Structure 1
């Protein structure tokens, strides 16, 4: 095992909850509350999750871990699979904008499944495991020296396999040797190319089912003694060399390890769609609210995107009239069409019926785009929007730091409204008092004596 792998493995295995800074723990706790409510919403709203959840339930097996929203317990790896499918289809889960990853979705389903399997895990231990594992996912993304359009991998997925291992391995208290083997076992199963983002595929939305299943399975196999490759990150055919042509910085992987946690730099989402659309949504919202504009007042909307952002605009007609929900959520024209017509973007705007709204599609067709080659490929924005009104005005807004980012965080009122809105869409119906009680428990998860006290509520 090289120094890089040794540093990562020892850090995860040895760090206690008390050794993690308060800000990092607070960020992990907020991420848990946010994602669990998002997953509950997906259990009732996202039809594309049904094949995965139904298959997991049909397989049956030991009653180890809860499938969120279904009141059923399955073997831990299959519960992680089913819950992983619920993590991202709404595209409402948190992101690390610089690392281009979805940290909490990459770790929480595995952590929950392992916690219920262990049966003696406290809320504080769960929060610590999420903080450690999310930090690893972010560091993996930040360490890359090759832009996403060039390498062709879906980094939230490729990095997520290791996040799931770190979370489940920490919860199940693996030794450093066992954890090293689990990472190596997961390496042998990594996949996830950007082909999944095409309009004819739903895999982008349910991708975390695969990472979470692999992560828990790798941990359970390592705990039973299976040996995996030891140089899983920096080896000749390890993660960085095999998947990213060796274009990475080992120094960025371990700089400040155990002192600086990247979880504090995670962005929360105010709107249920790709983070790359948010700066544009916010810029358009600023214009229409400032000038009291409605759809009929607008002749054209011009946006400027990076090479990365062009993928949120092309092919243009499919982005204006998207074939499925996840393609719609990834579309700058369609999400701006929603904002134009409805002056907000909500979960319900991506149902099959809402996606066929002729007013929204017509509004989306008003959106045109140009590409600014000077914007770095790994940057989502800035959100540069110009509105041309029917009376000839040209109104421009540029958003550099979209709402929900660490330097422009969501205010408590908006966070509370998001959590309540998510719970209203769940497969399990909550009375108002039960909904408030669940949110309080989620926001104080670190004080729960046993994670099973939480999972019985979801």
Structure 2
């Protein structure tokens, strides 16, 4: 079936209005026969998403979506490169090499080839590990760290994927991940519900991205998504506990998605009632609470990409508002660490649960992941060094006495008035009391990188080169990669670009 963008939009409106009570889609003869029996229902919304994924060409993408997608590819590659030797990733890399079979796709930043799905798992885990990956704030979805490594690994394996096709696959795949994540339990933080949306919806979006680049048929991709749904996971306990499992969720999703696509190509199939079936995603994981408008509204004409926020700091996005507030207070008032008597961080419930409690644990992070999810640690770094960067999230940094002395003077308080009305990371208010009795207060609602508070080109380049320097990449090579991705539509075969990334 060939659909143009208007067709997608018209179907989305029809679907939202009529549910699944009408025969909207033409089915294969086998599936049409099956759907006529009492035990079968008509296809659910997954068909609309798969058709959108497979049939949206590069030429249909608005210019701002193309630019946003190229920016996200560059940002994701940059944050992945320095992660290879980090805890959790290092072990995954060693184990992958020990057990790998046919060399199909590159591990980013190396000349090492492993099976394509193993490369996707490793590269996606690398992209998420340093907590420097971008965020779709309305649903706290980290789409890029799943869709982009999956697309790169698939393209490197199948060969002949142009820069334009890579951009198109990533743009629609990222949009799908964001749509799925914002549709479930609308208006409620996924962490309050209990899910980490990145590995959860990443399984489905990764499958569709891989399926598109593998040139699978519509039925094959639907079959593959059914297989991915059977593997889907994504609870938020790893984030709450600050364990290394948090770093691997995106990788599990990328691996599962590509494996599902490869199995479907060989004739294995899963349920095609992935989203709205009796035990489909929205009923099983969200108690039937979901928004069809969020899922299908503007499909093919409205894209999430331009609304995705890059991170200026390598830590949980929910803590960036506190970092911004602290940095401004310190800089504007020229506050020195020894002047600070007490700091109070006010956060809404979801951020308080994830970043502010229990207080003693947040004051004394024992692992890097715990530090990445600690408002007291982030704020202490901002006070002490007037910036927050990769150097603050190392085993050596965790032993810094000056930071520990500051965290001991920091308290966290829940404030429900700081919940962000339109969803996403809540607001934060930071109050600094000095030893001479002065009090300075700052509330920040939209962190740096948010579309309402964008990063400058200089700020992004600073982040890019901080990452490539940390990875050991020479500046000249990093600048060449930057230029090639900025002109990605000119690449004939993106596997050559990945070869050029080897450090």
TM-score tier, shorter chain, comes to: over 0.9
Matches within 5 A, 1:239-278: 239-278=281-320
SS of 2:257 mapped into structure 1: helix
Residue equivalent to 1:353: 396
Matches within 5 A, 1:415-430: 415-426=460-471, 429-430=472-473
Q: Output the aligned Cα RMSD.
A: 1.4
1:206 paired with 2:206, answer no
> Contact conserved, 2:139 with 2:190, CA < 8 A, in 1?
no
SS of 1:161 mapped into structure 2: helix
| Aligned pairs, number | 455
Matches within 5 A, 1:146-295: 146-199=188-241, 201-295=243-337
Residue equivalent to 1:338: 381
2:455 to 410, 417, 421: 410
2:490 to 414, 431, 447: 447
Name the CA distance, whole Å, in 1 between partners of 2:310 and 2:192. 27
Deviation at 1:50, TM superposition (A): 1.2
Q: Which deviates more from structure 2 when the two are superposed, residues 200-209 or residues 134-143?
A: 200-209
Deviation at 1:149, TM superposition (A): 4.0
Deviations 1:394-422 (A, max 9, x none): 11111111111112111111111111110
Residues 280, 200 of structure 1: CA spacing in aligned structure 2 closer, same or farther, 3 A cutoff? Answer: closer
SS of 1:425 mapped into structure 2: helix
1:392 paired with 2:434, answer no
> Contact conserved, 2:44 with 2:275, CA < 8 A, in 1?
no
Name the CA distance, whole Å, in 1 between partners of 2:273 and 2:173. 19
Give unpaired runs (5+ residues) of structure 1: none
Residue equivalent to 1:362: 405
Structure of greater Rg: 2
Deviations 1:262-318 (A, max 9, x none): 111000111111100101000000100000011111111111111101120111111
Residue equivalent to 2:70: 29
Q: Structure 2-normalised TM-score?
A: 0.88
Q: Structure 1-normalised TM-score?
A: 0.96
> Contact conserved, 2:359 with 2:412, CA < 8 A, in 1?
no
Give unpaired runs (5+ residues) of structure 2: 1-41
Name the CA distance, whole Å, in 1 between partners of 2:476 and 2:160. 28
Name the CA distance, whole Å, in 2 between partners of 1:324 and 1:389. 30
SS of 2:231 mapped into structure 1: coil
SS of 1:188 mapped into structure 2: helix
> Contact conserved, 2:44 with 2:276, CA < 8 A, in 1?
no
Name the CA distance, whole Å, in 2 between partners of 1:227 and 1:140. 21
Residues 235, 3 of structure 1: CA spacing in aligned structure 2 closer, same or farther, 3 A cutoff? Answer: closer
